[in-house]
Structure 1
Amino acid sequence: MKRVRRLLAAIASLALTAALLTLGASPAAAAPLSAAGEGHGTCTATTPGSKLARQGTAWICVKERPITAADLARIRAHTAAVAGVAAAPRDGIDPGDDPDASPEALCTSEKHQDVVSNRHNYCMRHGITYVLVNPGGRNGTADLVVTARSALDPNSVTWKEHIAVYAEKYDGVSVVRLALSSSCTACLPGPPAWGGGAIELRAGAEDDTGELSYETTTRGGAERSRSMIAYQSQTESPDADYPVITNGQWAGPSVACDGVVGGSPGCIASDNLARVTFSKSDSKYAASAVAYEWAQNHLSDNSVMGTAQRPFTRDSDEARRRSRNYYTCKAPPKPFVADPTVVNDECDEFPFARTKEGGTLGSLCAEITPRYVGGGAWRVDVVRDEPVAPCIRAHVPSDQNQAAGGRLGRQVQSERVRDGEAYQVVITP
């Protein structure tokens, strides 16, 4: 009886296919979505009587998978071979922990996540397993890896992603076609990759010619919009006599855009703390940089600020800046007194007056004088050492103090730090 029922079901299926063909529908169009491939990802049933069906394939599925060590080795080998591409980790630091890592380097991060980013760059890495499934299990598999990397311009409302696809292990599948597009919130996506067409990849093949583009809809206002990018893939095997397209989708990076910082709107990668850097080798503000470094290294654990753990909070209000500067540098009982051995001596404070953390009464601050001793070396003389000081006042030349303030203002704009947003201060050699 069971054999009779199966025979009748097969006859009915063939009759339905013949009827659809009579009406002008292709067998591929007749193939319904199937839940029978549960556990294999998103599946599409093959057409009864088709070449794949005759070979035993009942469904074609795509399944999302995490990046593997083999994937990363392939990505590293590819990026290292590209002239002028900075893909290697710096000083043994994983690129995912390097705030200055290039998009290419971010693609090689060993972090177990699809998207790796810093404030201005990101890389999305995603694995796709293409599976031919029969009722008893797998008939064939093909592994693909897709990467999308981008460098964001903080003064632009548009950005592009460079797409690379790697064909990994193939088993029972000779070739796979892949088409890729994207969508996003609060932004306008450009056309699909490869002009809307599909690339054809065999085992071991690579293709880095794809591109996706975006334009934020944010142009002004005090709010920062967040554009969430999602990717859509279409895969098919040319081994089939009728194309069976299987769709996949996954989440990508988040890009934040605003029109309130600086003179033009722009974008950054979301969820990355802003960094303001000062170099001790820059003669324009070196004394200030040395003073800030001393503060971060010598204030008590409970008072160290401007770090990733205890960042500063930007406050651009000019009246409050003047008030904070007064309390730290000029207010009694111990106002700042210029040192005649420092040319055009001026009070430089840390925390900055343009932060909500600034404005501590100067009599509570430690007071220091950075002095250049030659050969790129500095010493710091402690003028007044206050126990558990929450701040410092530094004796620095007026031009260096002003240059440090200018440096802070420019980086606030290039990092797109809004009022009330946190940032850290990093001192470099």
Structure 2
Amino acid sequence: MTSPRRWALPALLLTVVLTGTSTAGAVGSQTAQARASVTGAASETADSAHPAAPSATLQSAAFTAEDSCSRLPIDARAQVPNAVTACVSLDRAPGKASTTILKQAAAAAPPADEPAGSGTDPEFEPEGDDPEPPPPSCALTNPGQWSWSRTGGMCLNGAKVTYTLYDKSGKALGTGLIEVNSTLATSYKSLDLNETITAKLVRVTGDVKSLVVKMQVSCGAGCTTKTKQPWFGSTPMTPGGVKTGKTKYSGDAFAANTTRSSFQTSYKMYVMMPGATPVDPSASWSSPANSKVRCDKEQPRLRGCVIPTDDLPVLTYSRSHPKHGIVVPIYEEIMRRRGTDILHAVNQDKAKTNRDATCKPFTSLYPGQKNADTCDEFPMASTKEGGQNGDLCAELTPQIAANGVWSAPATWPDRPTSRKETCLRLHVTGRVNYSAGGVLGSLRKFQRLVDGDPFRIEFTA
């Protein structure tokens, strides 16, 4: 690499005429025609300096469980002498048990700021006051449905459980209808999972006047059940009566030499006439197999849990962002050349190897001036697609002239761009570099992106 000659007239990768001033924020003022010259296709997007995080996708599946019948215990038959058998059945939710897609508002992640000498990697440890993801909500689900999203937890809404007493001829003597709801909350910064379970005796008929309802929970390998029963005692429930309580799990049971675990939660319900002693569960069920909770300890400081889905997390870059907007049009062009909007996360060790491959050696335009010129690699070092040999990447210095003309000239006149490169090595200030990396860092943090996780990248005005 030759010594820097900043004022030589270089070959341009692309030039966009802007109507804004000569700052990074001017990038957001470009017209649709200018956007088309960068990406090869104009797109309609909402203007926002700090775009909100995309909606969390709420997925759902029909509730299913195991029915059971058992001989009525002698101590309960004193109340209903003719009764000999008790059965518990589950009302099946209408429709198929396939996944449907609903929408739930998600919290916006704040933009990352200057590293202030912290020495952290913004793609793994973004700074700033980070808001909690939205709490789980069952408001949009149908009765008898499970619902879940990656960061919004998992809910069971309105599952119907029917208790029926039969005589020896199989005639029904009475029934009780119980409605079950549960809400399981995950956290991006804790391995603890807290759940609220509610059972309501909706109505009774015939010889069934009241019922005793108990619950017990558990979870699979990789998980520890901390609180197994949401409520205690054998007080009978009468119509309209409600039992509610909390259970707790922890995704901390990592197997040897592993850094993550995936598991389902399981439930047993005991329904009986007053005075009876529970022997076997009356009904049992588990959370859906395609909504396993995944907990990990792969981030530098935080351990946490999510429920991965096929709906990929979205990394959003805004061209009008006041700090890193100046590099977004070039990112966009490179992704257009790559022919995909999907990238894959890697761990911190791989990210360091990738960054060294792209950014070492790196000749600063302002040697001796800290953060005046840094290497911004794209695709990012913390993705599987990063880590390309820096000699094969376009080495550019994005800038905005006083007349509002945005350009990304080749940094060195003897190394012009071929306009076919699919990776970048940009000369930008530490402020720009940290801010751009922090956007991915926030996504990685909130969405618990681990090694191999795919995510989408999109660009807005």
2-side partners of 1:115 and 1:97: how far apart?
A: 14
Which residue in the other structure is 1:114 paired with?
146
Q: TM-score, normalised by structure 1?
A: 0.61
Contact 1:119 1:273 in 2 (8 A): no
1-side partners of 2:398 and 2:194: how far apart?
A: 47
- CA shift at 1:320, angstroms? 2.4
Q: TM-score, normalised by structure 2?
A: 0.58
Number of residues of Structure 1 aligned to a counterpart in Structure 2: 343
Residue aligned with 1:58, SS:
strand
- CA shift at 1:231, angstroms? 0.9
Which residue in the other structure is 1:355 paired with?
383
Which residue in the other structure is 1:225 paired with?
261
Q: Is structure 2 residue 194 aligned with structure 1 residue 160?
A: yes
Choose the corresponding residue for 2:218, options 171, 183, 191.
183
Change (3 A) 1:400 1:369: same
2-side partners of 1:112 and 1:153: how far apart?
A: 25
1-side partners of 2:293 and 2:405: how far apart?
A: 42
Q: In structure 2, what residue type is equivalent to 1:50?
A: R
Contact 2:66 2:285 in 1 (8 A): no
Q: In structure 1, what residue type is equivalent to 2:433?
A: N
1-side partners of 2:150 and 2:84: how far apart?
A: 44
Greater helix share, 1 or 2? 1
CA shift digits 1:315-339 (9 cap, x unpaired): 5321222213569x99xxxxx999x
CA shift digits 1:255-303 (9 cap, x unpaired): 222333222533333456663644637534344556556766xx26x71
Choose the corresponding residue for 1:255, options 293, 307, 312.
293
Q: In structure 1, what residue type is equivalent to 2:190?
A: S
Contact 2:269 2:283 in 1 (8 A): yes
- CA shift at 1:397, angstroms? 5.2
Q: Is structure 2 residue 157 aligned with structure 1 residue 131?
A: no
- CA shift at 1:403, angstroms? 1.7
Identity in percent: 21
Which residue in the other structure is 1:50 paired with?
77
Contact 1:103 1:121 in 2 (8 A): yes
Which residue in the other structure is 1:27 paired with?
none
Which residue in the other structure is 2:88 paired with?
62
Q: Is structure 2 residue 252 aligned with structure 1 residue 214?
A: no
Q: Is structure 2 residue 250 aligned with structure 1 residue 235?
A: no
Instruction: Note the residue ranges of structure 1 that are not aligned, 5 or more in a row.
Output: 1-38, 70-92, 331-335
CA shift digits 1:221-265 (9 cap, x unpaired): 443122332111111233xx6567652211126322233322253
Q: In structure 1, what residue type is equivalent to 2:77?
A: S
1-side partners of 2:270 and 2:446: how far apart?
A: 38
1-side partners of 2:231 and 2:401: how far apart?
A: 59
Q: In structure 2, what residue type is equivalent to 1:163?
A: I
2-side partners of 1:204 and 1:379: how far apart?
A: 70
Q: Is structure 2 residue 322 aligned with structure 1 residue 283?
A: yes
Change (3 A) 1:130 1:391: farther
Choose the corresponding residue for 1:269, options 295, 307, 310.
307
Choose the corresponding residue for 1:420, options 431, 452, 459.
452
2-side partners of 1:133 and 1:293: how far apart?
A: 68
Contact 1:66 1:114 in 2 (8 A): no
Give the structure, 1 or 2, with the largest relative contact order (CA under 8 Å, sep 6 or more).
2
Contact 2:224 2:253 in 1 (8 A): no
Contact 2:86 2:165 in 1 (8 A): yes
Contact 1:95 1:106 in 2 (8 A): no
Change (3 A) 1:269 1:380: farther
